[in-house]
Amino acid sequence: MSVPMAIALSGQLFLGQPVMVKPSEAEKNLAQSNSTTVGGTGPADRKLYVGNLHFNMSELQLRQIFEAFGPVELVQLPLDPETGQCKGFGFIQFVQLEHSKAAQIALNGKLEIAGRTIKVSSVSDHIGTQDSAPKSADFDDDDGGGLALNAQSRAMLMQKLDRSGIATSIVGSLGVPGLNGAAFNQPGMNPSFPTSVLPTTAIPSFVNEHVGLPSECLLLKNMFDPATETEPNFDLEIRDDVADECSKYGPVNHIYVDKNSAGFVYLRFQSVEAAAAAQRAMHMRWFAQKMISATFMPPHEYEAKAKA
């Protein structure tokens, strides 16, 4: 599933600045400090080094990018002691080796964020290959610190983010006036550091999920967390938001929000073509600070589960 993951993420912008993954001398010490073994399937083998990060990147956002491939057990994002901001690099450690490999294959050279293409490498590939001591400069952003944007270019950047389906909720961290963004957004940016991390249930692993055979019926997952909803009729608001968004791709005959599920929303379109267009647009997209998945359902399963 690594190729579809890369296609789904390719071309999307994040923070107005790309992530880049590359080897570094300094990764040796950080990797060894969290590793009990150098070979096999130890922590070092499940750990990736991510560099060229925007200075406003948070641990939360770095986790959310990679956690789509599988559960992440460790996020390291060293901060500049003077500014309190990201130094331009980070580490991601997965629970399972196959998820680490999938993320590396899918993202390395394939994900472009703000005009830069990220590169992903495994920490274990470089442990012990260099003897020199790590230097802080090894972790610094290659361009010396982020974007130099005026008000107009910031506004243009945010418009591009909206058109690509990424949220306008990051505008605060970049100093951009709020835009009239839709509900389908990327998680909001907190300018303070370090940021808290959302529960891992907010972003499920889609790495092993198949989208199914095309039909007029779709299932959207991870649209909400019933444990955090306080309004008794929250499902009606979600239903209306989904209807407004998905009707862009064709007539929607039926929508059902399962309030007691893990964020399931069922949709039945008038045609398979409309459902397919919506599936392509919605899969791996952000909604209410959650990454959602969109998969096809056989009509008979839809009728049984969606109370159609």
pLDDT of amino acid 209: 56
Assign 83 a pLDDT band (cuts: 50, 70, 90): confident
Q: What is the mean pLDDT of residues 193-202?
A: 32
DSSP codes joined into one string, the chain: -HHHHHHHHTT--STTS--B----TTHHHHHHHT-S-SSTTSGGGGEEEEES--TT--HHHHHHHHGGGS-EEEEE--B-TTT-SB-SEEEEEESSHHHHHHHHHHHTTT-EETTEE---EEGGGTTTS--SPP-GGGGS-TTSSS----HHHHHHHHHHHHHTT--STTHHHHTPPP----S--PPPP--SSSPP---GGGS---TT----S--SEEEEESS--TTT--STTHHHHHHHHHHHHHGGGS-EEEEEE-TTSSS-EEEEESSHHHHHHHHHHHTT-EETTEE-EEEEE-HHHHHHHS--
Residue 238 has pLDDT above 50, yes or no: yes
Model confidence pLDDT, tens digit, residues 16-48: 544 444 444 444 444 444 444 444 567 788 998
Q: How far is CA 103 from CA 32, 65, 249, in A?
A: 21, 10, 30
Domain limits, the chain = 2-147, 150-182, 212-305
Backbone angles phi, psi at 305, to 5 degrees: -100, -25
> CA-CA distance, 284 to 266, in Å (whole number)?
16
Indicate if the pLDDT at residue 107 is higher than 80. no
pLDDT mean across residues, the chain: 67
Residues with Cβ within 8 Å of 244's Cβ and at least 6 positions away in sequence, in order, are: none
Higher pLDDT, 219 or 40: 219
Q: What is the mean pLDDT of residues 54-77?
A: 82
Q: Do domains 2-147 and 212-305 have the same CATH topology?
A: yes
**Residue 180: count of CB within 10 angstroms of its CB:** 6
Q: Is the pLDDT of residue 4 over 60?
A: no
Q: Output the pTM of the full model.
A: 0.40
Q: Report whether pLDDT(164) > 50.
A: no
- Cβ atoms of 294 and 219 within 8 Å: the answer is yes
Distance, CA of 306 to CA of 308 (rounded, Å): 5
- pLDDT score at 192: 34
Find out if CATH 3.40.50.2300 is the number for domain 212-305. Answer: no
Mean pLDDT of 239-252: 92
Question: Given a cut of 70, is residue 73 above it in pLDDT?
Answer: yes
Q: Which two tokens stand for residue 90?
A: 């980070």
Confidence of residue 112 (pLDDT cuts 50, 70, 90): low
> Could you give phi then psi for residue 68, rounded to 5 degrees?
-65, -20
- Percent of the chain past pLDDT 90, that is, above it, reads 22
Residue 18 or residue 52, greater confidence = 52
Question: Which is it for the CA torsion 217, 167, 141, 95, positive or negative?
Answer: negative
Superfamily of domain 2-147: RRM (RNA recognition motif) domain (3.30.70.330)
32/211: higher pLDDT = 211
